[in-house]
Chains A and B, each alone.
Chain A
Amino acid sequence: MKLEFNIEGGNFSWAGHASSEVKKMLKQLGIDARCIKSIVIALYEGEVNVVAHAYEGRILVQMEPHKITTEIIDKGPGIPDIELAMQEGYSTASKEVREMGFGAGMGLANMKKNTDELTIESTVGQGTTVKMVNYF
């Protein structure tokens, strides 16, 4: 089963819509609640990152028996130093993003915590692709 969602950069009122749809789907499939929470928290963090930092993005979800792969592909400024961005507390978020309760530099580290496999590829000036795999 495959799903695809679009994300609009800067549109905070729509942020979380895709994660919400994925959560509903996982619930319908009867997957363990702890697993669902990990998957959707990682996805939501990623979705918020695109809204906060990029111009636009796409989420691709692929469901297989006992495995879910989510890819978040954005067009945006990219991440110059991924290792630095992974450090808790490091953030380049704007004042507006912080006022929404995000931008504390916890997102990428929390995505890593909640996924079994996380890969991040980024090109400065073009965008970032985050791939997450969870097994259940």
Chain B
Amino acid sequence: MQVSKICQLLDAKIICGEEHAQANIERGYSSDLMSDVLTLDTDHLLLITGMCNLQTIRTSEMADIRFIVFVRNKKVTDEMLELARENNLCLLESPFTLFKASGILYQAGLKPVY
């Protein structure tokens, strides 16, 4: 699923990494728990989360996750933005809940990790 399609489905906007708008993502993972994100073996997935802090970016950097959508209207801070740009991450913000965003993407064909 293309990032641009995800934006359309989740009423989301790209906060950084606009150049990745046409990139294709196969799988998604929803969690507010970074401890769980760090146990995943899958790379290059879309992380759907309401945990909006610097450690979400750090966790994604370590776990080779390049795409994050922050739900529940959470706003990315300047510090997060700087670290995301440094690591070539693509960040999205959506007003939807974690449940709603995950449901829409699953229904539209984004695969789960397990």
Interface size class of B (residues with CB under 8 A): 20 to 34
* A60: interface (CB < 8 Å): no
Q: Specify which of A13, A23, A101 is in contact with B34 (CB 8 Å cutoff).
A: A101
Main secondary structure of the interface of A (DSSP, over half): helix
Q: B8 at interface (Cβ–Cβ under 8 A)?
A: no
Q: Which of B52-60, B68-76, B94-102, B104-112 contacts A (4 or more CB under 8 A)?
A: B52-60
Q: How far is the CA of A113 from the CA of B39 in the complex (A)?
A: 9
Give chain B's interface secondary structure class: helix
Given contacts A102-B35, A104-B36, contact A12 B54 (CB under 8 A): yes
**Residue of A44, A103, A110, A113 with highest tally of chain B CB at under 10 A:** A44
Contacts known (A101-B34, A103-B35, A106-B36); A37 close to B62, Cβ less than 8 A = yes
- Report whether A101 and B39 are in contact in the complex, using a CB–CB cutoff of 8 Å: no
Q: Can you name the residue of chain B whose Cβ is closest to the Cβ of A14?
A: B54
Contact between A40 and B54, CB atoms less than 8 A apart: no
- Residue B43 CB within 8 A of the other chain: yes
Q: Is A20 part of the contact surface with B, judged by Cβ < 8 Å? A: yes
Q: Which residues of B contact A73 (CB under 8 A)?
A: none
Chain A residues within 8 Å of B59, by CB: 16, 44, 101
Question: Which of under 10, 10 to 19, 20 to 34, or 35 or more describes the interface residues of A?
Answer: 20 to 34
Chain A residue with the shortest CB-CB distance to B55: A100
Indicate if the CB atoms of A37 and B54 lie closer than 8 Å. Answer: no
Residues on B lying within 8 angstroms of A by beta carbon are: 32-36, 38-39, 43, 51, 53-56, 58-59, 61-64, 79
9 examples of A-B residue contacts, CB within 8 angstroms: A12-B54, A16-B61, A23-B61, A37-B63, A100-B53, A101-B33, A101-B34, A101-B51, A102-B35
Binding site for B on A (CB under 8 A): 12-13, 15-16, 19-20, 23, 33, 37, 40-41, 44-45, 48, 100-107, 110, 113
Since A101-B53, A105-B35 are in contact, a sample of 15 more A-B pairs with Cβ atoms closer than 8 Å, ordered by chain A residue number, is A12-B54, A13-B79, A16-B62, A23-B61, A37-B62, A44-B58, A48-B55, A100-B53, A101-B32, A101-B55, A104-B33, A104-B35, A106-B35, A107-B35, A113-B39
